[in-house]
Amino acid sequence: MELRILRYFLAVAQEKNITRAAEKLLVSQPTLSKQLSDFEKELGTKLFIRGHRQITLTSEGVYLKSKAEEIISLADKTSLNIKNDQIISGDLTIGAGESIGMKRIIDIMGNINQDYPDVKIHLISGMADEMETLLNQGNLDFAVFMGERDLNEYNYLQMPETDEWGLIMRKDSLLADNDFISPKDLLGKPLLISAQEISKSRFKNWWGNLGSKMNIMGTFTLVFNAELLVENGNAYMMSFNHLIDKTHQDKLTFRPLNPPMIEPITVVWKKNTVLSKVAQLFVKRLQASLHNEDL
């Protein structure tokens, strides 16, 4: 399976037309058609449904498209990172969830880009399980975990920042008069909770024997979208502090939990792997920022 053929396949999948794809790739239409036909024979399956006006993907084609995009992205990134051994260039890719702890990391990434304009920085947002998968696949240089996780398979740096769990609600809510939110305060309240935290039963111990009485109306992955529902007055949201978007600050407020729930923030990268020069620079500058914090 050659990278060139995968690029041909992706071009046709994106254009949905052999002629347009051939023009984009600067190859002849017959050549492209034959290459793709040979590719299907090599794989022993049909990748395309060739219609009168456009081409669509079979289920096997859809699967290959997702994998081909990952393969091509990793190949391009690797090539870019080793092209020039004399200067710092290439891509720096970090995956993380939403957290106040990202400010330090983003500041370092921004400073690296300012000092080395050839460096391209990429931020990928998602839940910790997704970020760990991408890291292990080689699609991330670093992942940022919020909360306790098994770190035995990784190199890591612990951030001084922490995340504090609490409740986001409308400012005119009765619970907004509380300094803290206890489990009994949430009885009967429609709650939105991160899909990841639901799957890991993150609040099981905090709720105690009241857990079965909680009204969990739904889950979310993006805080901003969930805040729209809270602002609408239809829900309360369990979330980290400092994540209320500026567009919602006039209507929403945060109250910490009691007993408190505090999460560590950790930057991790794969063991037994050679970091690119820009990734090494990121680690060096992150370590320096933590050292300065201790002084």
> In whole angstroms, what is the distance from residue 51 CA to residue 182 CA?
60
Query: And the tokens for 3?
Result: 């990278």
Secondary structure of 123-183 as H, E, C letters: EEECCHHHHHHHHHHCCCCEEEEECCCCCCCEEEEEEEEEEEEEEEEECCCHHHHCCCECH
Say what angle helices 277-294 and 102-115 make with each other, to 10 degrees: 130
Reported confidence tier of residue 131, pLDDT bands at 50, 70, 90? very high
Cα-based distances in Å from 266 to 102, 160, 203, 213, 234: 10, 9, 21, 33, 34
Reported confidence tier of residue 292, pLDDT bands at 50, 70, 90? confident
Reported confidence tier of residue 293, pLDDT bands at 50, 70, 90? low
pLDDT in the model for residue 87: 61
> In whole angstroms, what is the distance from residue 156 CA to residue 153 CA?
10
DSSP per-residue string spanning 183-220: GGGGTT-EEEEEHHHHHTTTTHHHHGGGGGG-EEEEEE
User: CATH assignment of 3-81, given 1.10.10.60, 2.60.40.10, 1.10.10.10, 1.20.1050.10?
Assistant: 1.10.10.10
pLDDT in the model for residue 56: 87
User: Would you tell me how many other CB atoms lie within 10 Å of the CB of residue 188?
Assistant: 8
DSSP 251: T
Q: Identify which of 183, 200, 252, 191 has the alpha carbon closest to the alpha carbon of residue 218.
A: 191
Q: Given CATH 3.40.190.10, say whether it is the number of domain 86-161+264-294.
A: yes
The answer to whether the beta carbons of residues 181 and 258 sit under 8 Å apart is yes
Where in the chain are the domains?
3-81, 86-161+264-294, 163-263
Equal CATH topology for 3-81 and 86-161+264-294:
no
pTM above 0.85, yes or no: no
Reported confidence tier of residue 40, pLDDT bands at 50, 70, 90? confident
How distant is the alpha carbon of residue 188 from its chain centre? 33
pLDDT in the model for residue 260: 96
Could you give the percent of the chain with pLDDT greater than 70?
Answer: 96
User: CATH assignment of 163-263, given 3.50.50.60, 3.90.700.10, 3.40.190.10, 3.40.50.970?
Assistant: 3.40.190.10
* Summary mean pLDDT of the chain: 89
The answer to whether the beta carbons of residues 250 and 227 sit under 8 Å apart is no
The answer to whether the beta carbons of residues 100 and 163 sit under 8 Å apart is yes
